[in-house]
Amino acid sequence: ENVVNKIAAGEVIQRPASALKEMLENSLDAGSTQISVTVKDGGNKLLQITDNGSGIRKEDLAILCHRHTTSKLSQFEDLETISTLGFRGEALCSISFVSHMAVTTMARDAQYGFRVTYKDSAMEAPGPKPVAAVPGTTITVEDLFYNVPTRRKALKSASEEYGLILDTLGRYAVYSAPGVGFSCRRHGDGRPDISTTAAGSRLDAVRAVYGADVARELLPLALAAGGGTGPEVPVEGPLGIKLEGLISGANYGSGKKTVLVLFINGRCVECAPLRRALEGVYAALLPKASKPWLFLDLRLPPRQVEVNMHPTKREVGFMHQAEVIEVIRGAVEAKLLASND
């Protein structure tokens, strides 16, 4: 049974960056405004994430890593309109099967915190140990895949894995700004590689993550269903698209490959056909420019989005894909044409 569990865990958690993504989403779901990550050896040796969110109550700690333990989904029907990033209760369970995992947490209204370690989805004896703490949660994941040699072998070098960690964290830092600050550093390094503050603007976050050259040249992109702006705009027709973003223009000069930071309904996802369509616009309009940089915050009617398509939730499916892509492509094209005049 443990073999099955380890295989299942490997589908959800494929590498350090995917473990981090799940934990970042948990911290965001917990209402954190500051999230700090420390990494050793590309996340193989250590991946530690500290947040100032709701914390976890003592009575919830025993089952925290049981499969399908989730505080976020009460009825199956909720899946269609789920507003939290997590909903399956798979992530911590999976991580506990393939690492040495410890949780230190203090609920907001508690007097002190607790420290617990987990193995194979179970809390280890003797159970929650009271510790001095500040409100929030620290999750420490050590020796990821120590017991799954095939996964270990499939990983890239420590510096490449660390690059993927920075990429994941950077996307959330941009999307969540302003409101949530992030930092990421290598264990033992004083200076973080990424550092954003909760009060900083989105452009500040872009500057901190992707550099001043990118931030300097961005064009704002905006589009709403029915021509309106606020979230109260009624959804019209089959599309009901809302789109906000920042895109590189003609003077952007430092990209060697396309960066598409894509969030659909608050989830960080990939969409290869959309990427191709956008690259096509840039290639047609700005053939001499370097590879584009785009941040897109796309909202679709929740019922048109399939969030549970893939174990890592990385690829999102949505209805009317070709039409939706065409609307976005058209908006980007119009923006680039207007800014070129």
What is the number of other CB atoms lying within 10 angstroms of the CB of residue 281? 21
What is the number of other CB atoms lying within 10 angstroms of the CB of residue 323? 12
> Using CA of residue 200, residue 328, residue 266, residue 230, what is the dihedral sign?
positive
Q: In the structure encoding, which two tokens stand for residue 184, read together?
A: 């990421």
Q: Could you tell me which stretch among 22-30, 118-126, 191-199, 317-325 binds ligand ADP (CB under 6 A)?
A: 22-30
Q: Which residue's Cβ lies closest to ligand ADP?
A: 86
Q: Could you give phi then psi for residue 160, rounded to 5 degrees?
A: -70, -40
User: Nearest CA to 21 among 82, 106, 80, 95?
Assistant: 95
Using CB under 6 A as the binding rule, whether residue 91 contacts ligand ADP is answered as: yes
Contacting residue, 15, 58, 88, 242, with ligand ADP by CB under 6 A: 88
What would the 3-class secondary structure string for 220-285 be?
Answer: EEEECHHHCCCCCCCCCCCCCCEEEEEEECCCCCCCCCCEEEEEECCEECECHHHHHHHHHHHHHH
Of 23 and 46, CB closest to Mg ion: 23
Contacting residue, 30, 155, 305, 332, with ligand ADP by CB under 6 A: 30
As a whole number of angstroms, the distance between CA 13 and CA 19 comes to: 5
Q: Could you tell me which stretch among 65-73, 120-128, 161-169, 201-209 binds ligand ADP (CB under 6 A)?
A: 65-73
Per CB under 6 A, contacts with ligand ADP among 169-208 are none
Contacting residue, 17, 18, 21, 26, with Mg ion by CB under 5 A: 26
Q: Could you tell me which stretch among 82-90, 116-124, 225-233, 251-259 binds ligand ADP (CB under 6 A)?
A: 82-90
Contact partner, 53, from Mg ion, ligand ADP, none, Cβ < 5-8 Å per class: ligand ADP
Contacting residue, 5, 14, 34, 70, with ligand ADP by CB under 6 A: 70
Using CB under 6 A as the binding rule, whether residue 72 contacts ligand ADP is answered as: yes
Give the per-residue contact string, 84-123, with Mg ion (x = CB under 5 A; - = no): --x----x--------------------------------
Minimal distance in Å, beta carbon 86 to Mg ion?
3
Provide the CB-side half-sphere exposure for 328 (13 A, CA). 34
Contacting residue, 5, 69, 117, 339, with ligand ADP by CB under 6 A: 69
Per CB under 6 A, contacts with ligand ADP among 98-137 are 137
Minimal distance in Å, beta carbon 297 to ligand ADP?
21
Which residues neighbour 300 within 8 Å (Cβ) at sequence distance 6 or greater? 239, 240, 241, 242, 264, 265, 318, 324
Instruction: Look at residue 317 and give its three-state secondary structure.
Output: strand
Of 26 and 121, CB closest to Mg ion: 26
Residues belonging to the chain = 341
Residues in contact with Mg ion by the rule CB under 5 A: 26, 86, 91
